Amino acid sequence: MAKDDAEFTMKAMLRLTRGTASAAETLRRYAPLADEFGADGIDVDVERADLLLSGTRTAVNEESAMRAMARPLLHRFGWREQDFTYSPNVRYAETAEPTLELPATRLVIDRADQELGWEGETHGHGLTPDRTLDIGPAQTDVVARLFVAVAATTFTAMAEELRPWLARVEPAAVSVDRGRAALLYLAHGDLRTEIDRLGLGLVRTDRIEGDADHVIDIAASADGTTLWLRRGTDPVSRHWPGLIEVREMILDDRYPSDI
């Protein structure tokens, strides 16, 4: 490493076309791409699909580091390097022109410590609550979020391992990381109905109550499979996940007790 060089840790979002395919079909379609680039996760919601990546680069400055991380993605999908623009005032870089070669449509790279910055209200990255998915329910709908452990080590194999769950719940949105997945869908009934329909077996149930409009019903099975039910829409909140799904998949002591 040159004396004046530094290490920069960054995160990237590569947006991909969703089209009219289901969330499950989209997940299976892009799993090989996630494996190709060593992605950290895949998000698919009602309007979009993203590959989420992270990395560290040694460079003389942040812009050079972001360009080095972007280069193989730009070349892979037909962007020119001049299509990728760094904005020093907000310290992130993104493609300014559409890609010449689908399925990629946009690339954004951000410094790793940025929280709720680029795309923060719809997609984020990392082990913080800024990772979100939207399925656009009506006020009276009950939104279900099913969290399951995944043993496979590649995204292609994870998508295959999730096939029974995907068929069972037909999710509108899916988030997959190494070792775990979250499936979002509109529930068919109350918590007991969903427990029985999904065959969760012996479970522990609980409830988080903020007020009449802010209730989350929870069921957790012995193997770690967890179901959350939430009625209607909900504002962005790091502690009260409605449609804006928190990044953590279990409730633990890090959640404040005074909310």
Over residues 167-177, the pLDDT tens digits come to: 999 998 898 98
27 vs 91, more confident: 27
> Are the C-beta atoms of residues 47 and 12 closer than 8 Å to each other?
no
pLDDT score of 197 more than 60: yes
pLDDT digits (tens, 9 = 90+) for 37-60: 999 899 898 888 999 898 899 999
Tokens encoding 259? 């909310």
Dihedral angle sign, alpha carbons of residues 106, 107, 111, 113 = positive
Q: How far is residue 64's CA from residue 60's CA, in Å, rounded to a whole number?
A: 7
The pLDDT of residue 3: 60
pLDDT digits (tens, 9 = 90+) for 113-172: 665 444 444 444 443 434 567 677 777 788 888 989 999 999 999 999 999 999 999 998
Chain centre distance of CA 176: 7
pLDDT band per the 50, 70, 90 thresholds, residue 95: very high
The pLDDT of residue 110: 86
The pLDDT of residue 84: 95
Q: What φ, ψ does residue 119 adopt, rounded to 5°?
A: 55, 20
Tokens encoding 59? 């460079």
Q: pTM to 2 decimals?
A: 0.82
The pLDDT of residue 165: 95
Task: Determine if residue 179 is left, alpha or beta; phi over 0 gives left, psi from -120 to 50 gives alpha, anything else beta.
Answer: left
Tokens encoding 144? 């279900």
